[in-house]
Amino acid sequence: MDPLNLPEVLRGEVSVPSDDLEREADYRRALSKYSIKAMDLYDGPEFKAYRELASSSGARLLVMSARYGIIDGNRSIIPYDATLAGKSLTYIEEMVSKWLEHGNYDVAQLSMDWDCAVIRLSDNYLLALELMAMRLGIDVCSIGGTTIVIGGSRIGELNGCVKIFVRGNGDARSKKLIEKINHCLSSGSYRV
């Protein structure tokens, strides 16, 4: 669902939801009929692979949303047009502050006692998670008894995680990688 093509947006009745989380109540009133589960809003091949992995293993799927921060994949959200890709450190810090004030509906799940946590984020999203976790007194690598972080160059700055460097989406969906994750998930309670 492309938020740029919603009839209410095209008619000029409401702007496209973006990084203006403080206007969530207005957007919800105008666009509530387009609400969708967070996990269903994202449809890229890599996200689909992890969504299927979570579903097949019974894992909880959390989403790092450029609009909302940390949200459960089952949470109903409105379509939006926002990203952290290509954004500056200052912008990301501002968004983390905004999430902590207005969003992050499911951030408490980062503090739960998970046997295994699998984190797959691009560098800017991982940076946002680190900044948020630091403000909340949470160590990213301690989210799970075993924490697997899959990502780009930023993962080198983490200590205490199982780090899997990937060059792109194809690597992140590879059969070998999914097998490693399945092994971790077979350990008990978990989150992807």
Torsion angle of the four alpha carbons 149, 47, 190, 113, in this order, in degrees rounded to the nearest 10: 60
Mean pLDDT of 43-49: 81
Q: Residue 192: pLDDT above 50?
A: no
Mean pLDDT of 54-76: 91
Q: How many CB atoms lie within 10 A of CB 165?
A: 13
pLDDT at 47: 84
**113 vs 38, which has greater pLDDT?**
38
Q: How many CB atoms lie within 10 A of CB 25?
A: 9
pLDDT at 176: 66
- Domain containing 125 equals 3-191
The radius of gyration of the chain's CA atoms, rounded to the nearest angstrom, is 17
Tell me which of 13-22, 39-48, 120-129, 132-141 is least confident: 39-48
Q: Residue 174: pLDDT above 70?
A: no
For 41, 119, 140, 142, the CA distances from 155, given in Å and listed in that order, are 26, 10, 11, 14
The model's pTM is 0.87
Mean pLDDT: which of 22-26, 50-54, 181-185 is highest? 22-26
Dihedral angle sign, alpha carbons of residues 6, 103, 155, 172: negative
Dihedral angle sign, alpha carbons of residues 97, 101, 103, 107: positive
pLDDT at 168: 63
- Tokens 């590879």 label which residue? 174
pLDDT at 12: 92
Q: How many domains does the chain have?
A: 1
User: Are 136 and 110 a contacting pair, CB within 8 Å?
Assistant: yes
Taking only the tens place, the pLDDT of each residue in 134-162 is: 999 999 999 988 898 988 889 888 999 98
